[in-house]
Amino acid sequence: MNSLPLLIIACAIGVCYSLFFFKKATAGYTPKAQTFVEINGESYGVFKDIRNVNDLFEANDSQPNKRHIVTMRRNFVTGRSLAHWAQRVFSSHVGQTDIYLKIRTGNGQKIADVVLKNAKPILFRIETASAMRDGEGFLEEVHLAAPVIDIY
């Protein structure tokens, strides 16, 4: 007796069950957002920990003296440092600049593009690997203030 047809049927049933349970297990899954930072046409990489970003979507720009504060944190090993950019801005007294935040889902779909108009850093820091829990790379944190935001 040839068992090949039974094996094919068993594999087909297994594939169907796998697909059914995969769809059910991932039904409520929402990919985490990533924010790509760009200043003057230069990329400063990805930030996954951005605080007060929800305030951007609720911001009321009719208050002329209000500054929106956004805090960005990340661990990194190599790449362009946003904290080093902030330090250069502080030391050279460069004026305010537009900062572009491209917010995407984990699979690359656009959530929003945010422009922090006339932004400037108000606080920045970098910690070395010895100060971090996982011991790899650096932890950088930058606080930005912007009087106006645009969301696309």
Q: Which amino acid is at 131?
A: A
What distance in Å separates the CA atoms of residue 57 and residue 77, rounded to the nearest whole number? 31
Give the phi and the psi of residue 105 in degrees, each rounded to 5.
Answer: -75, 170
pTM for this prediction: 0.70
What distance in Å separates the CA atoms of residue 142 and residue 137, rounded to the nearest whole number? 17
Lowest mean pLDDT among 27-36, 63-72, 81-90, 101-110: 27-36
> If DSSP codes are grouped into helix, strand and coil, which group holds residue 109?
coil
Chain centroid to CA 117: 19
Q: How confident is the model at residue 106 (pLDDT cuts 50, 70, 90)?
A: confident
> If DSSP codes are grouped into helix, strand and coil, which group holds residue 144?
strand
